[in-house]
Structure 1
């Protein structure tokens, strides 16, 4: 008798970006890059590190402005200058500004280093160019802290800052470790300090076919004018006075925009939608607010509403690449993969270096069965961004689907090298190891995934399968119980628990589980096949045949159902029907390359013909 177990790999869903990526420069970007590199320093110690910017020289003493959280703990820090010289930082000289996430530190050197030119952050309005520089943290894949310079656009400059003084919002693709680095305008002037960004993917609590890794694109900085107004409190004078900006008495669109992004980051999607709506009421052409409201609506599963917002953003700016990307995400979630691919194509045409759009198009192609096309897109995304663990993970799934299990494991290994806390990659590598017959290695991976996130129902399901294959039926059932505790509608866990109960001799318990699985998913040929086996063993041959018939109605080429129905017909003394079913099963096994099953079936046919 042939049972069907369900192993579930994880396909990451398309990622969403909140902000546009266009460039309009006064100085050529390469000139701003030179300025940024000359003034940006690494602030390093054994536990925490970040970036900073040189804002003053007085004799041999240099003053560096950074984010306060970079130097929040008393410790031994080093300042690493652009010429790779290391200078010790005397923590007693650290000065923290009141009520904002800013601090200044000092180092001494007889070398000459460039000092940042202070700009006017009030002039940095929506749509103006911005640059961020700093030192992203090292990973297992890249073990050095490599200086990075990224461009983007200002998307908001709020009059009413968020907590800790954050008021500037920008689209730059920042990374962990860049906190404290300079935010420069198109003239290479310092207009803010970068402090918070879209620096980590957010894993949802469940793994299933629509698991999402969402990128918010909400980067925050503290305006340099804020520093200038507070610097006298810590006795720092950089020779520049802040402008006499009138105190805002009425909230402007940017104020609601930044609040909407802050609520989005905190998971308050309804509050985020409300704030973006207020921003749009004040400025009905606020393209970023339409785009971002669409993302928040999508997180509320209102994909049609999201598409309306993306359409509006594209009406205002037909070259808004991320709105095409995000509309493609919404269309994919509504099942229209072909239209989604058209949107991703458009996003890539606008920005050929949009790794997200390649990633998303790869997901859509994979969903349409084009695994090779998907891999081509993942390859391109990795070429653009070689340290994105998610892309290695989904490429591993596509390789596994094409039978390249070793290549899949290599990709999962690389993903985990970049992000050792990626539960999805552990789950998927466990599946690949299980398919190689390494059940113990698979269980180790499932254990690690559950150590990272103990609320993953499908990982319990997969570990249950591996335990069952090793003969631990009790442990398998415990895992299925846990999976169903987390997700009571997980039909495949009912199916798999039913198989374990059947194999443990509990045929009635098995049927109860198969019934529950079919109640949740009445279109599963596999569960009908399994229930037919249990019914047959309990003597309900006619009901068993009805189940096999139903399985074959759903899947006419289901070899196992023909095989099992053939045996049941033989038990009912209907030799002719039994042999016909077994011959059909044998032909399907040959087509599917299941030689062992074919040979077993042919032996049965010969026996039945005697």
Structure 2
């Protein structure tokens, strides 16, 4: 089935692999105590996180929350451990609880942004990365992750602005350079429809022939929605033109080269 989005699922999955997971947690030096204190219990949980044992970390943080339910740092760290276990809904609950307890906790909005990204709730992710950037304006990773969300929300101009800012802060960031290059490329348009079903039908026909197809949804200056059937991605126009001619001759369809993500 062809999805109506900025890219079909394979492309979206690739962006998930690009996504920079920067789950921030707190660590405090362990003190030498004869009996376990809340601080020592906390640090044991952190050590379990560091050594790749998130379930053990969850158990320790849960035990600590029973005695310190108002500790925002513990909720945040348990949320990180839950994210590593793939329990995103529970992680969001912990992050939001931490937010209620201490809205100024460093990195909290970044963690929430990551959680909402994996829930494919990209608008919520964008909002949280915005809050994180307000607090940490030099966070190039937050700009990059927000750019990925904006790509998936059909917001190429805003995504490009985030990538540009990311590269100002980190000029040699490979993933940002790759995404910027991709967004400046070209793709083949095989149809433009105002009826979504017509676009799905054409895209489905091409998919059946083994042609990787996606449907780009854009709004024109008159606020009319268009469903554009697109094929491939090419770094330069000559490469795109060559493939376009091959596609026309082989499939006997109308096709033109268009800028990536634009009319």
TM-score where L is the length of structure 1: 0.30
- Shift of residue 17, structure 1, vs aligned partner: 1.9
Pick from 423, 426, 431 the counterpart of residue 179 of structure 2: 431
Q: Does residue 15 in structure 1 map to residue 23 in structure 2?
A: yes
Which residue matches 2:31? 254
Partner of 2:242: none
Write the deviation string for residues 11-60 of structure 1: whole angstroms up to 9, x where unpaired: 121423224xxxxxxxxxxxxxxxxxxxxxxxxxxxxxxxxxxxxxxxxx
Looking at structure 1, the residues matched to 88 and 179 of structure 2 have their Cα atoms a distance apart, in angstroms, of 26
Distance 1:437 1:294, change over 3 A: same
Question: How well do the aligned residues superpose, as a CA RMSD in angstroms?
Answer: 3.6
Does the 8 Å CA contact 1:397/1:428 hold for their aligned counterparts?
no
Change in 2 beyond 3 A, CA 1:590/1:309: closer
The match for 1:298 is 49
Alignment check: 8 A CA contact 1:288 1:313 kept = no
The answer as to 2:239 corresponding to 1:593 is no
- Matched pairs, number: 203
SS in 1 for 2:209: helix
Cα distance in 2 for partners of 1:374, 1:590 equals: 21
Residue deviations 1:558-597, cap 9 Å, x none? 65441249xxxxxxxxxxxxxxxxxxx99x9699934466
SS at match of 1:319: coil
Residue 133 of structure 1 is matched in structure 2 by none
Paired with 2:75 and 2:122, the residues of 1 have a C-alpha distance of 23
Distance change in 2, residues 1:432/1:559 (3 Å): farther
Query: Who is 2:35 aligned against?
Result: 283
Aligned position for 1:375: 126
2:107 — aligned with what? 356
Show CA shifts across 1:276-322 (max 9, x none).
xxx5xx2322x232223222212322111010111122123211111
**Which deviations, in whole Å up to 9, do the C-alpha atoms of 1:359-379 show, x marking residues without a partner?**
111111111111111001111
Q: Does 1:562 align with 2:208?
A: yes
Answer whether contact 2:57 2:78 (CA < 8 A) is retained.
Answer: yes
Counterpart Cα distance in 2 of 1:321 and 1:307: 15
Please list every run of 5 or more consecutive structure 2 residues that lacks an aligned counterpart in the other structure: 1-8, 187-202, 218-225, 232-246, 254-263
Asked if structure 1 preserves the Cα contact closer than 8 Å seen for 2:25 and 2:80, the reply is no
CA distance in 2, matches of 1:307, 1:331: 7
**Hey, what does 2:138 align to over in structure 1?**
387
Q: If each structure's helix is expressed as a fraction of its own residues, which one has the higher value? A: 2
1:416 paired to 2:167: yes
**Separation in structure 1 between the aligned mates of residue 31 and residue 56 of structure 2, nearest angstrom:** 22
Q: Which consecutive residues of structure 1, in runs of 5 or more, have no partner in the other structure? A: 20-154, 157-252, 256-278, 439-556, 566-584, 606-610
2:82 alignment counterpart: 331
Larger Rg: 1
